[in-house]
Amino acid sequence: MATTGLQHVAAMYAGVVAPPLIVGAAIGLSAADLTFLTGACLFTAGLATFLQTIGVWKIGARLPFVNGVTFAGVAPMTAIAASTHDRSDALPVIFGAVMVAGFLGFLAAPVFGKAVRFFPPVVTGSVITLIGVSLLPVAFGWAQGPDPSARDYGSETYLGLAAATLVVVLLLRRFTRGFVKQIAVLLGLVAGTLVAIPLGVTDFGPVADADVIGFPTPFHFGAPQFQLAAIVSLCVVMVVSMTESTADMLALGEIVGRPADERTIAAGLRADTLGSALSPVFNGFMCSAFAQNIGLVAMTRVRSRFVVAVGGGFLVLMGLCPVAASLIAVVPRPVLGGAGVVLFGSVAASGIQTLVRAGLEKDNNILIVAVSLAVGVIPITAPDFYHAFPQTARIVLDSGISTGCVTAVALNLVFNHLGHRRDAQDVTHPMEAGEEIAAAR
C-alpha cells in the first residue's frame, strides 16, 4: 500500500509543484516564499485527496481519485498577478477569488451533473488544448534562465540544460517501462539538476535555509481580498475544472468497475470545490482531479481508494516538511523549462485527444474549435490586443483559457442546442460547399 501510494505521488508530483512555481515566479516571490507556497500546495492537495477518497457525508466520490492544483487556473492567476499594482496583494486577490469560486462551485455541484451536456468533448477538448498551449510560453521562458534582464538570459548554457533535460525525459519514456516510465519527468528534473551543479547554475540556499518541520500558517501572505474581475475569471476556471473532473470520474468509474452515476459525480464535485474553497486558508490554489493518476490505476490494476488515500497522506507529510518542498526550488529554471515542454505539451496533447472524440467531421464542431482556439490564443500571440480595455476587464480578457472557454460554450449552445439543427452530414468542413451550392453547380 505504501509503495503504490508513493507511486501515485511520484506520478503527480511535477504537476502539483509546477503551478505554484509559475505563479510564484510571476509575482516575484523570494526563494523562501516560493518554498512555502510549494509546500502549501502539497499539503492542500493531500487534504483534497482525503476528501475525495475517504469522503465525509455527501462529499467525496469514494473512488481512487487523486486531487491536486489544477493547471487550468495558472494562466488566469498570472493574469491577475500582472494586473495587480502592488505585487504583495496578488496572492490575497487570487486566494479570495479561489475561495468564492470554490464556494459557488460547491453549491452548484448537485445540478452540474445535469448541465454537463453543455460541455461535450468539443468544448472540453478546446479548453484543455488551450491550457497546454497557454502554459508552453512559460516553459520556453524558464529554458532561457531565471532573470530576463540578465546578460546570460537565453545563453547556450541555459538552453543546453533545457535540451539535455528534455532528452533525458524522452529517453526514459521511450526505453523504460512501469514505475520508472511513470516518473520520467521527475527523474529528468533530478538528472538535469545534477548536470547543472558543475556548471554553477544550481543554488542549494533554499534547502539550507528550510526547516525540517513546519506548518503552512493560515493566510501567510495576507487576508484574502475579493475583486469582482478576478472572481469572474476563476469562476470560469472552476466550471472548466468541474467539467474535467466529471469526465475523469466517468472514466475512472469504468476502470474500477463502478460506473459513476449522478450521485457519485455530485459527491465528487463537492469534494473538488470544497477542497478548493478551503485550500486558500492554507495558502493553496484551486484543486481538481489528476488524469495521469487514472492511467496509473488502469496500468497497475490496483483499484483500492485507500491506496490513493495513503498517497494523500504522503502529500500532507511533504507539505509539513519544508525541506522536502524546498528541493524543487533547487531545480534550475532551465531544467524546469526542459521538463515543462513535455509536461505542458502533454496537457495540450490530451486536449487534442479529446477533440478527436468530438466528431470533427461535423461542420458545426469544426467552427466551434476554430473560433474558440483563435480567441484563446490572442493573449499569447498578441499580448497587447486588449490594451484599450479597462484594467479590471483585462484580468478576464488576458486569460486565453477564460475567453476560449466562454467562446466554446456559447458557440456550442448556438450551433448544437438552440433552434433548428441541421443534419451533421450536410457540410463536412466550413470551407466546403453546402447542399444548396452543390446542387446549383
| Distance in angstroms (rounded) separating the CA atoms of residues 19 and 138 | 11
Confidence of residue 425 (pLDDT cuts 50, 70, 90): very low
Closest by Cα among 197, 212, 241 to 77: 241
Span 257-300, pLDDT tens digits: 777 777 888 899 999 999 999 999 999 999 888 766 776 676 56
**Does residue 166 have a pLDDT over 90?**
yes
Q: What is the pLDDT of residue 299?
A: 59
**DSSP codes, 195-220:** HHTTTT----HHHHHS-SS----TTT
Q: H-type helices in 67-155, by residue range?
A: 74-83, 90-115, 121-143
Q: What is the pLDDT of residue 345?
A: 82
Confidence of residue 433 (pLDDT cuts 50, 70, 90): very low
Please state, in angstroms and as integers, the Cα–Cα distance from residue 354 to each residue in 238, 248, 382, 402, following that order.
19, 12, 27, 19
Residue tagged 466550471 (cell numbers): 239
Residue tagged 492511467 (cell numbers): 295
Span 56-94, pLDDT tens digits: 888 988 888 888 888 778 878 888 888 887 888 889 999
| Distance in angstroms (rounded) separating the CA atoms of residues 408 and 410 | 6
**Does residue 417 have a pLDDT over 80?**
no
**Which cell goes with 15?**
504537476
Q: What is the pLDDT of residue 125?
A: 84
Span 360-410, pLDDT tens digits: 877 788 999 999 999 989 988 888 898 888 766 776 787 777 788 888 888
The number of residues in the chain equals 441
Angle at 299 (CA atoms; ends 298, 305), nearest 5 degrees: 50
**Which cell goes with 396?**
478576464
**Does residue 316 have a pLDDT over 70?**
yes
Phi and psi (nearest 5°) for 68? -160, -175
Comparing 91-100, 118-127, 204-213, 377-386, the range with the smallest average pLDDT is 204-213
- Is there a contact between 30 and 20 (Cβ–Cβ < 8 Å)? no
Q: Which residue has the higher pLDDT, 426 or 185?
A: 185
| Distance in angstroms (rounded) separating the CA atoms of residues 403 and 240 | 12
Confidence of residue 430 (pLDDT cuts 50, 70, 90): very low
